[in-house]
Amino acid sequence: MSRLTPLPLPPPPPQPNTILDDRFPFFNQSMDLVQLPNPPTTRTRSRTLADLLNRVQDAQNDTPPAPPHHVLDLSSSSSTHPFVLSFFNLTYSVKLHRKFTFFPTTTVFPPDHETKPNGTKTLLNDISGEARDGEIMAVLGASGSGKSTLIDALANRISKESLKGTVTLNGEVLDSSLLKVISAYVMQDDLLFPMLTVEETLMFAAEFRLPRSLSKSKKKARVQALIDQLGLRSAASTVIGDEGHRGVSGGERRRVSIGIDIIHDPIVLFLDEPTSGLDSTSAFMVVKVLQRIAQSGSIVIMSIHQPSYRILGLLDHLIFLSHGNTVYSGSPANLPAFFSEFGHPIPENENRTEFALDLIRELEEQPSGTKSLVDFNKSWQLKEKNSVQSQNDHKPKPSLKDAISASISRGKLVSGANGNGKNSTAAVSVPAFANPFWMEMAVIGKRSLTNSRRMPELFGIRLGAVLVTGVILATIFWHLDDSPKGVQERVGFFAFAMSTTFYTCAEAIPVFLQERYIFMRETAHNAYRRSSYVLSHAIISLPSLLFLSFAFAATTFWAVGLAGGSSGFLFYFLVIVASFWAGSSFVTFLSGVVSHVMIGFTVVVAILAYFLLFSGFFISRDRIPPYWIWFHYLSLVKYPYEGVLQNEFDVNSPRCFVRGIQMFDNTPLGMVPETLKVELLKSMSETLGMNITRSTCVITGADVLKQQGITQLSKWSCLWITVAWGFFFRFLFYLTLLFGSRNKRR
């Protein structure tokens, strides 16, 4: 096989970490607190972050305080209860849907070796292996090889119905609820709130994941230690940033993403290509942080596209994949012997992973694919398994319960330290959530308000839209009179005003869509309850709704000349609040259903138009066809519209809106002389047997309501029904989060 002659690389330095240590001294700094002797052991690791923080507190009671902002000393210690994550025969296939085409000769399925004739594509094919605490296991392969799929399979992000095989921790099958608590998953994309600083982001993560029993000062100390461990001290007060706001660098964002998922010191950490899009130095710094996390007693499993020489020196176990098949599994040090025995020795000065990936790609282009390499790896693994098994026969195999209990006693898995657990796997007492729901609501609300307060233009635009609409309505319908035309104009004003309150709520669509994946990441590992999220966002939305409602009501009520005085204004204000509440809840529910902003706006505008059409303004309830009457009662605009009409026309002191000759207005007789109208009234009086003069009241407010078909509900009933719609849509939003955000492959 012909391969391009690789360019010779300089010989590796004797200490690959010195380059980073010279340029970034925070990796070597330590606090001179308490030095512990290193007991002799065959397996060492650094102390957990929680253990170190406890030692900091103890040391401060007896010694002067150490200088601030230094990295805690990661002294070595032994563990008698190691963790081993094992996976056996993982197989995952998806059904490809045939594409409709006008050209029968077009290839429907790509010519991949893992695609079967029946249209089933195998993404994982009989993958087995194990990962140990204190080590980093990296999954390598070209794009489409199955790296992310394997990480998802191990992290329980593939439905059990689709994934075949077994995943165990210390020999016991992992329960889904327990895995959520003891693990963390760092996605490939950095999903963070843009207007929070690095320190605030980590502090909010600590509030979510650390138990209430841990004091505020200890949580802050933990965050400060983590900032130093991640090398983020210089960026601690910098906002995360987004496309419109300058913030931290890409490497710093990635380390923040890692930090929020390790704040509670998880036992298992999954990462999907954490070095993707980073330069060489930033990527090395990220993996260096992961090495320190592993040395603190965690199992670190990550996917990586093509590690550099320095990064390769930090990895402990490699799995190479090709079209869902394992082509190598073992230590980086065994790569030369593996490929030499396979018949393709690695040149002395060439990067071993680059050579392996190039060779795999060349084999994939051949008709037989990588079958020969897959078969060779199976025989190689069988030989290695027999050798390792004979060495490990004498080692103790602790149960999962003992291992987790020992980890919690050492300060690991801080969110489980309070021991009020509900999970029952192997009788391990680990709480499903670190804090009560009311505390989760407080933290979620504080975070949302902090993020929103730094983007005041969003609320300012909405307030401006409400005020502009109110001013336009006030100037158009300025001081309406009690004439027949005044009645029509009042009805039109109420219809437009109530529909406006719903349309201005459409701006809430992007709010959850922007937070959707942050929410899915945080709830996937029980950072907080879904109910806490729904209740918190409902509560923090109320102050802005009250302010907008008062601004709109005050702008229009007296300017239009509406009736009822102070009590009428109060009810008018309450109806607008209820309308904003129902509209905001409806839009929030839709944002949990749709997946794109433009789709959301299109659906909201269309449905609100239907609500207005069936509200009773364009056609009264009595005139709506029976097969559409159900939509009339589902219309959100119907109830506030009828409520304000009753507030205007059904007052204690009845008002007259049509007197005597005014009944001829808007009719063909409206243009005749007034004297003739008086004569017509006399003739009508004689015919009807009643005295009708030019000042006789013909139509009152109650008559107007009857003409509009508003006779079934009182104004207070309309108000409470509108409020109830808001609660109903919030409950539907909770159901969409409960069943529609599982974030699992099918």
Distance, CA of 437 to CA of 449 (rounded, Å): 18
Question: What is the mean pLDDT of the segment spanning 625-643?
Answer: 94
Question: What is the mean pLDDT of the segment spanning 80-107?
Answer: 69
Question: Percentage of the chain with pLDDT > 70?
Answer: 80
Is residue 103 pLDDT above 80, yes or no?
Answer: no
Task: Give the pLDDT of residue 396.
Answer: 60
CB 381 within 8 A of CB 32: no
Structure tokens at 432: 């499903």
Give the residue ranges of DSSP H helices in 248-370.
Answer: 250-262, 280-295, 309-312, 335-342, 352-364
Distance, CA of 53 to CA of 411 (rounded, Å): 9
Q: How confident is the model at residue 98 (pLDDT cuts 50, 70, 90)?
A: low
Distance, CA of 662 to CA of 508 (rounded, Å): 46
User: What does each C-alpha distance from 174 to 85, 103, 423, 427 come to in angstroms?
Assistant: 9, 49, 11, 12
Is pLDDT larger for residue 619 or for residue 400?
A: 619
Question: What is the mean pLDDT of the segment spanning 551-569?
Answer: 93
Task: For residue 702, give the nearest of 743, 739, 657 by alpha carbon.
Answer: 657
Is pLDDT larger for residue 674 or for residue 88?
A: 88
Query: pLDDT tens-digit profile of 705-723?
Result: 888 888 889 999 999 999 9
Determine the residue type at 269: L
Task: Give the pLDDT of residue 388.
Answer: 59
User: What does each C-alpha distance from 725 to 212, 451, 721 come to in angstroms?
Assistant: 35, 28, 6
Question: What is the mean pLDDT of the segment spanning 542-550?
Answer: 94
Q: How confident is the model at residue 654 (pLDDT cuts 50, 70, 90)?
A: confident
Structure tokens at 628: 């559409």
Q: How confident is the model at residue 46 (pLDDT cuts 50, 70, 90)?
A: very low
User: What does each C-alpha distance from 385 to 130, 244, 329, 377, 670 come to in angstroms?
Assistant: 11, 54, 11, 12, 103
Residues 6+ positions from 61 with CB-CB distance below 8 Å = none
Q: Which of 434-443, 654-663, 737-746 is most confident?
A: 434-443
Instruction: Please state the φ and ψ torsions of residue 140, each to the nearest 5 degrees.
Output: -120, 160
| pTM value > 0.95 | no
Is residue 1 pLDDT above 60, yes or no?
Answer: no
The residues pairing with 124 across neighbouring beta strands, listed in sequence order, are: 92
Is residue 655 pLDDT above 50, yes or no?
Answer: yes
Query: pLDDT tens-digit profile of 465-489?
Result: 999 999 999 999 999 988 888 889 9
Strands 163-169 and 84-95: antiparallel
CB 167 within 8 A of CB 512: no
Quick check: helix, strand or coil at residue 694? Answer: coil
What value does the mean pLDDT of the chain take?
81
Is residue 113 pLDDT above 60, yes or no?
Answer: no
Number of C-beta neighbours around residue 40 at 10 A? 7
What domains can be seen in the chain, in order of their start residue? 82-94+114-378 (3.40.50.300), 435-739 (no CATH)
Is residue 692 pLDDT above 90, yes or no?
Answer: no
Least confident segment among 51-60, 655-664, 735-744: 51-60
Q: DSSP secondary-structure letter at 118?
A: T
Distance, CA of 262 to CA of 269 (rounded, Å): 8
The residues pairing with 76 across neighbouring beta strands, listed in sequence order, are: 46
CB 226 within 8 A of CB 262: yes
Least confident segment among 577-581, 729-733, 735-739: 735-739
